[in-house]
Amino acid sequence: MCYLKFEECIIQKRVKLMRILLKFRSENDFGYDSINKHTIQGFIYSILNDTPFENCHDSKGFKYFTFSNIFPVSPFKRGEFKNIIISSPKQGFIRTVSKVLKRKDHFYLGKYRMKINQVKVFQPKLEGRLITSTPIVLFENNENNRYYSLKNSNEFSFFLERTKENALKKYNSYYGENYYFEGNIFDRFEYGREVAVRVKKEDKMFIVIGTLWKNLEKFNMDNKKFYRFIMDCGLGEKNSLGFGMVNPVG
């Protein structure tokens, strides 16, 4: 659902896609694992309070945003800088988050206070090659909450088919189109590794399985609009929980 005026919605879909780089420093010392994906997601939703996107958390369907891990990956030390990237095909979403953050001098990740150093909006250049920043997550069986595992199933064809199916579903839902193409979503793949990510919510621990890829390459991007969309929306499922973020490789 679009919460902007009709004219603004049309404009947001025509402009180049953008991301936010948030640079900050902790005011405390604590372990890196003290912050997980639900913590970061909660922080993003808190930014949206009292904005046109405040109902994003409760809306059904795709949320159309994702985010990176906090980097560098190391324990939080008082005064040391950390970074996170927030990405979305929604121009209004990016502008809103950026505007709110620029008005603040600090924010909280859970109980930990962070001092904002820089809020930078930038446009990544679309290339023929992508690399995963966070794991791509796919459900093998949604009803049983069973995740696809290349290590266990060794069914690469499932990864190809489900990744394409999910990307097209999100793309068509966002643009109101019925776009489809023959063939694979990527032509060349270089597998990295499979990971099991611990996600804590309301004192309950969940394990999410995903895959990391060193190279996801498309030789001829006939529809750059589609690949720009998945670059900023994320691949696979659970994007709004920080999974499936990809970056271009020059």
pLDDT exceeds cutoff 90 at 30: yes
CATH number of 129-249: 3.30.70.1900
For 151, the token pair is 């290590």
The SS3 call for residue 170 is: helix
pLDDT exceeds cutoff 80 at 63: yes
Bond prior to 72 in cis (omega within 30° of 0) = yes
Q: Containing H/E element for 228?
A: helix 224-233
Catalytic center residues: 45, 57
Task: Give the residue with greater pLDDT, 37 vs 2.
Answer: 37
Instruction: Give the single-character DSSP code of 27.
Output: S
Of 3.10.20.30, 3.30.70.1890, 3.20.20.80, 3.40.50.300, the CATH number of 6-122 is: 3.30.70.1890
Q: How confident is the model at residue 7, as a pLDDT?
A: 36
The average confidence (pLDDT) of the chain is 90
Q: Which residues lie across from 132 on neighbouring strands?
A: 246
pLDDT exceeds cutoff 60 at 60: yes
Instruction: Give the single-character DSSP code of 136.
Output: B
pLDDT exceeds cutoff 50 at 94: yes
The SS3 call for residue 19 is: strand
pLDDT exceeds cutoff 70 at 20: yes
Angle of helix 37-47 relative to helix 91-102, nearest 10 degrees, comes to 90
Whether residue 208 contacts residue 147, with contact meaning beta carbons closer than 8 Å, is answered with yes
Q: Residue for token digits 């909660």? A: 42
pLDDT in tens, 102-120: 999 999 999 999 999 999 9
Q: How confident is the model at residue 6, as a pLDDT?
A: 34
Q: How confident is the model at residue 16, as a pLDDT?
A: 59
pLDDT exceeds cutoff 70 at 10: no
- 66 vs 109, 165, 180, CA distance in Å? 17, 18, 23
Q: Residue ranges of the domains in the chain? A: 6-122, 129-249
Q: Residue for token digits 């750059």? A: 224
pLDDT in tens, 124-144: 998 889 999 999 999 987 777
pLDDT in tens, 37-46: 999 999 999 9
